[in-house]
Each structure stands twice: as structure tokens, then as C-alpha cells.
Amino acid sequence: MNKIEKLSTPVKGWCAAGLLLLQSFIGVGQVFGGDIDGFRSSFLLGNLYTEKLGSTLYYLSSSWSDTERKSIRLRLLTNGDTHIDVYVRASAQSKYAGGSISSDGDYLSYLTELSSAGLQPMIWLTPNQPHSDYKASMTSQKAFMNSVVLAYDSLAAGYVVCLECDEYWTSAQVSELASNLKLSTSKPIGVHLTPGVGGTGGDTTYYDEADYIILQFGDHLTGDFITDIDIAVAMLQKALALGKDVIASEYALYSESAEAKALGDILCAQGALGTGNGRTVNYCGQGSSSDDSDSDSDSSADELSDTLSNAGMGLVAVGAVLYVARLTNAASGIDLTDTGVHLNMNWRIKDDYGFGWAYSEKYGRDGKSDVATGTLGLDYSLGRDQKVKLSYSADINDSRNFQILGSYQLSF
């Protein structure tokens, strides 16, 4: 993945160049994580059928205590993790010991706590089949996912549409949900299936709208609780051949074991851009390989020159945003990654209501803008424990492609 290529495209050139220089040389503004190259998590820590803390996915469960959450954070940080995998809904069931997670919950404080601790949340939007969350209509699924983006996008490193999607949705449905997400977020979007490339059915069209393949290797829940090395490497190479970036997500039941970390290291060396079950190496797919750098050195120099030539316009634009924010006492955010750009400003009027605007661009693998979106939002507090949120988002290049979202939040 060539970072310079992605920062020099005509569509985003002036904006991204200015943001990058502003971030690097001036240090103004807050830049949130949205690039998951080098992703490092440990979402399986034990027997998730019998151990309450066997998977980080249930971190937001109401059955977990603050002490249990703290112990998980410490375990992950000790394991070298930079990210954490979490569900934001998981209906009650009897198969897994982690508990349930309300789809109507307010998890902002927990996600903020994780981010502050150095663990960026990877938000999994739909749990696997034993939970019944997948049964709602596509309209309801989109509404829920949009509400999650509206509430937590500034804290999310990225989103996974569903865990083992092929158990309950068709590839067309998964693509529809991923495409809908791209209208409201510039963060990376992943798809996770049953074991194998394209899942047990080998249907790789499930990945059509995904930015990342969240790959489950299998053969890790029984026996020695880890995927065979040769099988894992062959599967990774098959996935990479599809032209998508791959997070090696599920290859061991015990992410803290020496065996899990050793396999994670091997998968990083074989081309994975991140791991979900432990490793020891820090480097895992960030940036370009040395061979790519040598072969592309001339073109990269030209691209860097183009980027720098546009930086002045970007600095002016970003400076204007920050100046207006300061002048009007607005909260502003600048989110720059090599997968997208996000600008936002928000105003709080007394304690009752606030409004804001946002601009987002989502980039494809060729570095060009796939979606450019403008958003206007309003929130109003009905009382101490009640809040209503409304937003209007539209494709900058096609105003006919828009969505209006509304949510009601009741805190207990």
C-alpha cells in the first residue's frame, strides 16, 4: 500500500496534502485513528462457550463489571494490542458465556475509555447466528448501523459489517449494507465469514464492497486450538490474490499463547496487514514493501511533488475551518487517514441542543474518491436522560443519493 499514491490523487490532493502537513508540522487539531494497517487485537482469549471473558467482543455487555473490563484492557495492552474488537449489539442466547449487549445502549463512555487507554475500537455491527440480531429487515439493519456511525464514528478505528455473515445473509445483502455504511463514514469496512476464503461456501463476492477481508482460518476451536501453519499461509495467499487487504483475524483460541503469536508473526511476514489473535512483531503490513518502494521510486517522487504543490491550498482550507471554530466557540475535528478524510464542526447551544456539519471522503484502492458526503446534524435534549438526534447526509456528486436519520436515546 503506497501512502504517497493515496495522498496525491486529484480529487483529494489539496485537502489531504494540507491536512497532512498541518498534522505533521504544526500539530493543530485532533486526528483520530481510521487506518487499520498494522491492526493488532486479541479478540479470543479463552473458551468463549464457558468463560465470560473469553472474547473481547462482549466488552460492552451489561453483565461485565468495571473491574472485569479493566482486567481485559490490561491483558490486551500486555499482549501488545493497539485495537480491540467489540460488538455494539448481541441479543441474549445460551451458547456463549460473554453475555448480551443492548442495541439501544449508550456506549460512548466505554469506547472513549478504550481509546484513551490506547486500544482503538473496531466495531462489529452484527454478531453471529446464535444471536437473533440478523433477523430484522434490511431497512432496520441500515438504520441501526447508521445510528452507530452517528454516535461513535469519531472513536471507531473501523467497522465489521457482520461476524460469519454467510451464516445468515447473502452476498448481495452484505454488499448492500457495506455500501450504505460508506455513505456515512470514511472509516474502513471489513467483512468476516465462516472459515475459508469466501467462507465455507467459497463465495468471494461477499467481499465486493469491503475495504478489508477479516479472514477466519478455522481449525482453532479444537485439538491444539491453532490453525496449521501451512494451511494458514496458503489461505492467506489465496485471499490476497483477490486484490483486497487482509486482516488475519481468527487462527487461535488463545491469543496470548506463544503458538498464536508465532503464527501471527508468520502471517504478517506473508502479507497480512494486521492480526486478530496475537503476534510479537510490531510491523505488519504498514506502508509499502521495499521492493515496491524501489520499483516505484520515480513515480512516488512525482506524486510527492504534486502533493506538496497543493499543500498551500489545503493549509488555507484547514486554517479556515480552525479559525471559524475558534471564532464561534465550536468543537472541531480533523480525521485524516489514507482511506479517507473527515472534517467536522459542532456547536452546543446552552445545554439543550446542538448542531453541526461534516464533510467526508472515502477512497478506493486506486486512491480516488469513491464517495464524498456532506452531513448536517441536530441533537436536542428532552430531559436529563432523553435525547433526539437528526441528520441529513447526501452524496456531494449526486444529491439524489441521500439519507435522513433519526434516533431517540433513553438512558437508564
Q: For residues 122 and 402, which has the higher predicted lDDT (pLDDT)? A: 122
Same domain, 15 and 155: no
Same domain, 47 and 92: yes
Q: For residues 352 and 252, which has the higher predicted lDDT (pLDDT)? A: 252
pLDDT at 23 over 80: no
Same domain, 22 and 52: no
- pTM (2 d.p.): 0.67
Q: Per the domain annotation, does 266 fall within a domain?
A: yes
* % of the chain residues with pLDDT over 90: 56
pLDDT at 213 over 70: yes
Q: Give pLDDT tens digits for 177-200.
A: 999 999 999 999 999 999 999 999
Average pLDDT score, the chain:
80
Q: Per the domain annotation, does 267 fall within a domain?
A: yes
Rounded to an integer, what distance in angstroms lies between the CA atom of residue 315 and that of residue 167? 48
Same domain, 23 and 44: no
For residue 54, the model assigns a pLDDT of: 95
For residue 363, the model assigns a pLDDT of: 58
Q: Per the domain annotation, does 289 fall within a domain?
A: no
- C-alpha pair distances (Å), 119 with each of 4, 84, 128: 27, 6, 23
Q: Per-residue pLDDT averaged across 140-151, rounded?
A: 96
Q: For residues 272 and 14, which has the higher predicted lDDT (pLDDT)? A: 272
Q: Give pLDDT tens digits for 30-54.
A: 333 346 889 999 999 999 999 999 9
Q: Per-residue pLDDT averaged across 53-79, rounded?
A: 96
Confidence band, pLDDT 50/70/90 cuts, at residue 167: very high
Greatest mean pLDDT among 276-280, 302-306, 331-335: 276-280
* % of the chain residues with pLDDT over 70: 68
Q: Give pLDDT tens digits for 289-305.
A: 334 444 444 544 554 55
Q: Per-residue pLDDT averaged across 373-390, rounded?
A: 74
C-alpha cell at 184: 456515512
**How many structural domains is the chain composed of?**
2
Same domain, 315 and 362: yes
Q: Per the domain annotation, does 302 fall within a domain?
A: no
Q: For residues 333 and 183, which has the higher predicted lDDT (pLDDT)? A: 183
For residue 376, the model assigns a pLDDT of: 79
Same domain, 269 and 330: no
Q: Per-residue pLDDT averaged across 230-249, rounded?
A: 95
CATH of the domain at 98: 3.20.20.80
Same domain, 63 and 202: yes
For β-strands 39-40 and 83-87, DSSP reports them as unpaired
User: What's the number of CA atoms in the CB half-sphere (13 Å) around residue 138?
Assistant: 12
Same domain, 65 and 196: yes
Q: Give pLDDT tens digits for 356-372.
A: 777 776 655 445 555 67
- C-alpha pair distances (Å), 354 with each of 323, 324, 329, 378, 389: 19, 16, 12, 6, 10
Q: Per the domain annotation, does 94 fall within a domain?
A: yes
Give the structural domain span for 74.
39-275
pLDDT at 220 over 60: yes
Q: For residues 325 and 312, which has the higher predicted lDDT (pLDDT)? A: 325
C-alpha cell at 15: 485537502
pLDDT at 409 over 70: no
Same domain, 172 and 256: yes
Confidence band, pLDDT 50/70/90 cuts, at residue 17: very low
Q: Per the domain annotation, does 293 fall within a domain?
A: no
Classify the C-alpha dihedral 102-108-114-118 as positive or negative. positive
Residue/partner pairs of 226-232 with CB below 8 Å, 24 or more apart? 226/251, 226/252, 226/253, 226/257, 226/259, 226/260, 226/263, 227/251, 227/252, 227/263, 229/263, 229/266, 232/263, 232/266, 232/267
For residue 387, the model assigns a pLDDT of: 73
Closest C-alpha among 366, 369, 365, 304 to residue 342: 369
Single-letter residue type at 7: L
For residue 1, the model assigns a pLDDT of: 33
Q: Per-residue pLDDT averaged across 249-259, rounded?
A: 94
Closest C-alpha among 404, 403, 340, 333 to residue 371: 340
